[in-house]
């Protein structure tokens, strides 16, 4: 086809189409090289891409041309159409599977520019005295220990990791009644990140409170009856009703900007995306 276009100068739709494709490919190569040279095209790994903030962040990075490696138990169908989105079905609380599955998923990748440890669960809002050790253990497994396994695996197999951000919460420090295991898990997550910052000094670590996001987690809180014992439930419901709770895609923009800003703070810090 190329020869007939050049040598015979036969002008046809197929020649035009071949030239057009050649031009598009050339433009794509030029843009890719330019983006790589500016360090703006990134490999990003995000846990919990199925819904909420993780979904919003995934969409933000893929629509800005970055490659996202997403992990959750269910796949969000809207993300299927993007060629620069790779997906691993993985329950991150199944520790024994993580290393093997993650390594085969990343398939020899040498550099991760950004790792966002976002997957998390909120258990039932109730007093700590009514929360069993089994329940606490499960929340700690998903919100904390899975992140230890993911971090250790990545540092064993990936040559260069530029930045790790763990999505934390104001609950890590607020001590709000009713937030039992969730608060304990986020406080521990902050210290986990602080400690890793001292061990992996070539990588920037931070724990980031992302602000309020209209997500499945907040849907659960919104469905709870008002209860004087747990005033934060009422406050969150009011904030949702007054429009102070961002849609995931809006929250993702704020947090993506905070993630860039985080690099200016000391590695290991606990930050709040609303105050940066
Ligand atoms: N929403 C807020 O206002 C708010 C405030 C402060 C902090 N946060 C934090 O923000 C992060 C995202 O929460 P969100 O509000 O966006 O909640 P969400 O909509 O419930 O999203 C949680 C994500 O985590 C994934 N996930 C949960 N358990 C998992 C497991 N065992 N293995 C793999 N993936 C799992 C879920 O996907 P699958 O179900 O498919 O696995 C989902 O993608 C959490 O760390 C949360 O603590 C949220």
pLDDT number for residue 22: 53
88, β-bridge pairs: 71
Kindly tell me if the per-residue pLDDT of 9 is higher than 90: no
Q: What's the pLDDT at 19?
A: 58
Let me know if residue 251 belongs to a domain. Answer: yes
Tokens 């919003």, residue? 56
Which token pair is 228?
Answer: 């004087």
Q: Domain for residue 194, yes or no?
A: yes
Cα(205) to ligand 1 centroid in Å equals 20
Q: Is residue 123 part of a domain?
A: yes
- Rounded to an integer, what distance in angstroms lies between the CA atom of residue 230 and that of residue 244? 20
Strands (E), 36-157: 43-47, 67-72, 85-89, 111-117
- Does residue 213 line the site of ligand 1, with CB under 6 A? yes
Average confidence (pLDDT) over 183-195: 98
Q: Is 120 in the pocket of ligand 1 (CB under 6 A)?
A: yes
Q: What is the DSSP letter of 129?
A: G
Distance CA 76, CA 152 (A): 27
Q: Tell me: pLDDT of 217 over 80.
A: yes
The CATH number of the domain where 201 resides is what?
Answer: 3.40.50.720
In this structure, of 31-35, 46-50, 234-238, 241-245, the range with the lowest mean pLDDT score is 31-35
| Chain mean pLDDT for the chain | 90
- The stretch 36-55 carries a mean pLDDT of 86
Q: How far is the CA of 30 from the centre of ligand 1 (A)?
A: 37
Report yes or no on 224 lying in a domain. yes
| pLDDT tens column, 124-169 | 999 999 999 999 999 999 999 999 999 999 999 999 999 999 999 9
What is the structure's pLDDT at 28?
Answer: 45
pLDDT digits (tens, 9 = 90+) for 224-263: 999 999 999 999 999 999 999 999 999 999 999 999 999 9
For residues 254 and 270, give the distance between their C-alpha atoms in angstroms, rounded to a whole number.
16
Take residue 170 and report the two structure tokens written for it: 């104001």
Q: Do β-strands 204-209 and 111-117 pair in parallel, antiparallel, or remain unpaired?
A: unpaired
Rounded-to-integer distance, Cα 213 and Cα 219, Å: 10
pLDDT reported for residue 40: 74
Indicate if the pLDDT at residue 36 is higher than 60: no
Look-up: residue for tokens 């469905």?
Answer: 223
Q: What is the mean pLDDT of residues 31-60?
A: 81
Tell me, yes or no, whether 5 lies in a domain: no
Say whether 66 sits in a helix, a strand or coil: coil
Domain assignment present for 237: yes
Give the domain range for residue 107: 40-275
What pLDDT sits at residue 39? 54
What pLDDT was estimated at residue 23? 57
Domain-located, residue 4: no
Measure 220 CA to ligand 1 centroid, in angstroms.
Answer: 12
Number of domains the chain contains: 1
- Taking the C-alpha atoms of residue 195 and residue 105, their distance in angstroms, rounded to an integer, is 27
pLDDT at position 96 is: 96
Is the separation of the CB atoms in 101 and 88 below 8 Å?
Answer: yes
Residue 134, both tokens: 């089994």
Pick from 45, 47, 49, 53 the residue to mutate for probing ligand 1's pocket: most ligand atoms within 8 Å of its CB.
Answer: 53
Grade residue 71 by pLDDT with cuts at 50, 70 and 90: very high
The arithmetic mean of pLDDT across residues 85-102, rounded, is: 97
> For residue 12, is pLDDT > 90?
no
In a domain, 19, yes or no: no
């Amino acid at each position: 086809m190329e020869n007939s276009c050049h040598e015979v100068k036969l002008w046809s739709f197929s020649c035009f189409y071949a030239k057009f494709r050649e031009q598009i490919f050339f433009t794509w190569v030029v843009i890719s090289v330019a983006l790589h040279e500016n360090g703006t095209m990134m490999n990003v790994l995000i846990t919990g891409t199925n819904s909420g903030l993780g979904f919003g962040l995934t969409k933000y990075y893929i629509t800005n041309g970055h490659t996202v490696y997403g992990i959750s138990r269910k796949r969000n169908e809207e993300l299927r159409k993007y060629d620069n989105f790779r997906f691993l079905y993985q329950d991150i609380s199944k520790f024994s599977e993580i290393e093997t599955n993650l390594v085969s998923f990343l398939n020899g990748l040498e550099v991760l520019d950004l790792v966002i440890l976002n997957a998390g669960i909120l258990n039932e809002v109730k007093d700590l005295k009514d929360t069993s050790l089994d329940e606490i253990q499960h929340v700690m497994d998903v919100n904390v220990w899975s992140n230890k396994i993911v971090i250790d695996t990545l540092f064993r197999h990936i040559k260069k990791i530029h930045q790790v951000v763990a999505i934390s919460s104001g609950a890590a420090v607020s001590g709000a009644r009713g937030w039992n295991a969730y608060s304990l898990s986020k406080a521990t997550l902050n210290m986990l990140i602080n400690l890793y910052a001292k061990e992996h000094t070539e990588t920037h670590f931070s724990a980031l409170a992302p602000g309020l996001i209209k997500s499945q987690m907040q849907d659960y809180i919104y469905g709870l009856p008002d209860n004087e014992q747990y005033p934060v439930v009422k406050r969150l419901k009011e904030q949702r009703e007054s429009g102070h709770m961002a849609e995931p895609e809006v929250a993702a923009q704020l947090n993506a900007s905070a993630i860039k800003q985080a690099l200016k703070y000391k590695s290991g810090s606990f930050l709040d995306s609303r105050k940066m």
